[in-house]
Chains A and B, each alone.
Chain A
């Protein structure tokens, strides 16, 4: 792992949408090239943390620092499937982050967007309308948009949600390439088992429950404090490594 000044750091961070914090007591730092998995239940503060790192929410307490403007892969529900844009148009939107949003895209930006589509395995679908792609392909196009930004830090909000196995495999491979390039990844997920593959894990449930190496912190106690009754432990106990899955409870 690369050492030096952290790519992302938070100290005593509290974030919220009014005066009451939706997330508080957050202290962590991530070195350049490291990958952090953010675990937590729905409403636990994962997206709120990302909005704080993006500068969209000002800290209610504490401080946060990110190296440069991070690229952000949002959850896909809010994209418009009926919009008249092709995969290349969407990937090109990433070039708007260079601060010169009033300019039409140039050749270099088109090349970067096409290269990003190539990295996610969709160079052949560049001209296909976004709404006509499968769910996994759409997620890969949105990842290409983030890649076009050429950012040092990438925030990826549940990138594997609703994605087919082939797309998940491709996305995982791209994550490996990005880490090898020294880029820092912060990935939110519900998948406890995949969290073990990351350098670091940050467990949130409206406050920071744990932060550190997955092997040390993914214990039954930590997962129960993070997910409450939404966690099902399959094997292991105490502070030993456990296998667990999260379940979603719905009120009727």
Chain B
């Protein structure tokens, strides 16, 4: 039972070393998720962003049980999945929703079987799926910082190309744009960012930072720069409020961010009269 009297002070987020680290981690991830999320939504890659996190789950279970580097295991799984989507997209221009759905089920089911019956490490499943604010390390922060820096640099250099390809793929190719390189970079950046988000947000809730903020911003944004700014601002707000909520309710930050994001999206949809969003998903 939550005790409203035990409402923590917002300053606790800055005063406690543990929450300071979590706040820095989630803020970096939010900036990264906001930037890339805008293009994830514009390019209709929301299902990919969700699946790439879940695809790492079996690898994380194996790494957790064997002592292998969780980051390397997750990066390998995410990179393999992103390569598969890029190859499928090149041949059919469709990431393959059915294949993605199958992979989601297989990754989740396979991870649970590995955790419960093979390695008997069931206690770690919650942490792998939903993340934790406790025990985030300097290495986690460094990886999130690298992912955020890559997202910012890639957006500056490739943002116009990503938008042009999303708007009209035939013409983008005819304009001589590096379409394939840009697509590989976008998928790779999302995969790296998803891996960076795993310790704090968990494999199952990665899309709470990579899809929800941009999906909310798209209901109001009239152009791509507004979408980018709105998406980052909403992601940072969600991350800070989500961490505060997780302190108060004593839950991992991933579910808190996800619940806040869903509530925010629902409220926006109601306020805008359930009209069609400003841009597509």
Contacts and interface: CB of A to CB of B under 8 A. Distances in A.
Interface stretch (A76-84, A115-123, A167-175, A211-219): A76-84
Contacts of A85: 163, 167, 223-224
* Interface of chain A: mostly helix, strand, loop or mixed: loop
B227 A84 contact: yes
A88 B279 CA distance: 17
Contacts of A102: 156-158, 160
Contact of A83 (B167, B170, B173): B167
B224 A84 contact: yes
Given A78-B170, A80-B166, A101-B160, A89 B175 contact: no
Q: Chain B interface secondary structure, helix, strand, loop or mixed?
A: helix
A69 B223 CA distance: 29
Contacts of B67: none
A22 interface: no
A79 B223 contact: no
Contacts of A74: 168, 170-171, 174
A101 B178 contact: yes
Nearest to B277: A82
Contacts of B160: 93, 96, 101-102, 104-105
Given A79-B168, A93-B164, A101-B161, A84 B279 contact: yes
A56 interface: yes
A56 B174 CA distance: 8
B249 interface: no
Interface in A126-146: 129-130, 142, 145
A85 B167 CA distance: 9
Nearest to B226: A84
A150 B209 CA distance: 42
A96 B158 contact: no
Contacts of A86: 223
Contacts of B278: 82, 84
A129 to B, nearest CB: 7
Contact of B222 (A71, A78, A84): A84
Contact of B166 (A83, A90, A97, A99): A83
A130 B176 CA distance: 22
A251 to B, nearest CB: 24
Contacts of A161: none
Given A82-B277, A89-B223, 7 more contacts: A54-B173, A71-B174, A74-B168, A79-B171, A97-B176, A101-B177, A142-B171
For the complex of A and B, the 5 pairs showing the least CB-CB separation, nearest first, are A72-B174, A82-B280, A74-B170, A97-B175, A84-B279
22 contacts: A70-B174, A72-B170, A72-B174, A74-B168, A74-B174, A78-B168, A78-B169, A82-B276, A82-B278, A83-B163, A89-B223, A89-B224, A90-B167, A93-B167, A93-B172, A97-B175, A101-B161, A101-B177, A101-B178, A129-B222, A130-B167, A142-B171
